[in-house]
Amino acid sequence: MLLNFLLSSTAPQFSHRRSHDSTTGFYSQQSLHSSGFYVAAAAVIAGTPFAFRFFLAVFPRFLIVILLRLNITFGVYKHYPKMMLLNTL
Between CA 39 and CA 41 the distance in angstroms is 5
Contact 20, 27 (CB under 8 A): yes
pLDDT at 83 over 70: no
Question: Is residue 55 a part of any domain in this protein?
Answer: yes
How many C-beta atoms lie closer than 10 Å to residue 67's C-beta?
14
Query: Would you state the pLDDT for residue 43?
Result: 80
Question: Is residue 46 a part of any domain in this protein?
Answer: yes
Question: Is residue 6 a part of any domain in this protein?
Answer: no
pTM to 2 decimals? 0.27
Question: Is residue 8 a part of any domain in this protein?
Answer: no
**Count of the separate structural domains present in the chain:** 1
Question: Is residue 2 a part of any domain in this protein?
Answer: no
The phi, psi pair for 69, rounded to 5°, reads -65, -35
Q: Which domain holds residue 79?
A: 15-87
Question: Is residue 78 a part of any domain in this protein?
Answer: yes
Confidence of residue 84 (pLDDT cuts 50, 70, 90): low
Note the pLDDT tens digit of each residue in 20-77.
566 666 655 555 455 677 777 778 778 777 777 777 777 777 777 777 777 655 555 5
